[in-house]
Amino acid sequence: MHMSKSQNLSTGNEVEMREVEHMFHYAKHNTKRLSTMAVIEMSAALLVLLLLSGIIDDGHRFIDFPIHPFWVIMLFIITQYGLNEAVIAAVLCSVFLLAGNMPEQLLTETSNEYLMRILTLPFMWIVTALVLGGIRTRQINERNGLQTKVNKSKYIIDNMAKRYGDIKQVKENLELKVASETKSLATLYEIIKSLETTDYIEAQAVIKRLVVTMLSPDKFSIFMYDGKELKLREAHGWSENDSYKTVFAANSPITNYILQKGSPYICIKNEYEEKILDGEGIIAGSITDKQTGKIFGMLKIEEIKFNDFGSDNCETFTMVCEWIAHIYANVEKDKHLNGSKIYPLAQ
């Protein structure tokens, strides 16, 4: 079952949108993971404070200070990262505070009072981490959600702008193509009206316009056949640096293949025929009158733009060769009727 072009485009858009959704979902999911950097930061800060404690507080880790320095770490982690990291910070602060640093129980203290005294700070840190960390995490999630929506909207807008630009470019190309084809059709109509000309000079002008209009080559040439060789009659677009042959002998591969074997054309698209052309052109075809079988010569294209050389162009090339043969046949017929030898077809 074949899908229409619009269905294919719709399917492509759906796949692309699923990829976008997956990308932003993955980014959102990553924000919920425990930050390794946060653990490294809080551990480093705690180690620094322990070193300061050895200098300032004789290694008691500020346990009797009214405002414990570990609160700075707690508040920083809560503000920067949120709940998960804050809980880890509370646990680490508690471990760094009490591990190997348990204060002695006073004689006037009961066991409950002693536990309350040493666990007050860890308890406050954990409660603060849960409450403030939870609030901060909700803020971070809301911010990330909004940022994700903004990024997604920007992506969609940029994608739509790109698609609009592509569609606009296609539209402009189609307009240019239609305008060019309209102009070509008008030119072709004028050429078709001139196909019946019997004037040799006018015929050469018509042939040139015909080849340029139908095939749009950058370089092409017309060879005339004198019964033995193919000799150059007209060359268009050739430069001084070009080294194309102006004569093909009767025993040359091109002459043999086109004239003796009667092949309509040879083209570099075929590996064997490319060897026959041997760098002399892209495509070459015989100019042969279908009604009489008379061979007038050869049309050869040496250079053509890639976009102008599709699969349909070979058939168009054959048709152009037939029209050229028709023009030459009319000129030759008129020459014989009038006994004129002013414009011989082959020299």
Q: Which stretch of 15-29, 244-258, 266-280 has the lowest confidence by average pLDDT?
A: 15-29
Residue with tokens 């009490």: 98
Residue 267 is inside which H or E element, if any?
strand 265-267
Give the domains, in start order, of the chain with CATH numbers.
31-163 (no CATH), 197-338 (3.30.450.40)
Residue 79 is inside which H or E element, if any?
helix 70-80
How many of the other CB atoms lie within 10 Å of CB of 189?
Answer: 10
- pTM surpassing 0.85? no
Tens digits of per-residue pLDDT, 195-217? 677 777 888 888 888 888 888 89
298 DSSP β-pair partners: 223, 286
Q: Are 239 and 260 in contact (CB under 8 A)?
A: no
Tens digits of per-residue pLDDT, 290-319? 888 888 899 999 998 876 676 667 888 888
Whole-number Å distance between alpha carbons of 327 and 329: 5
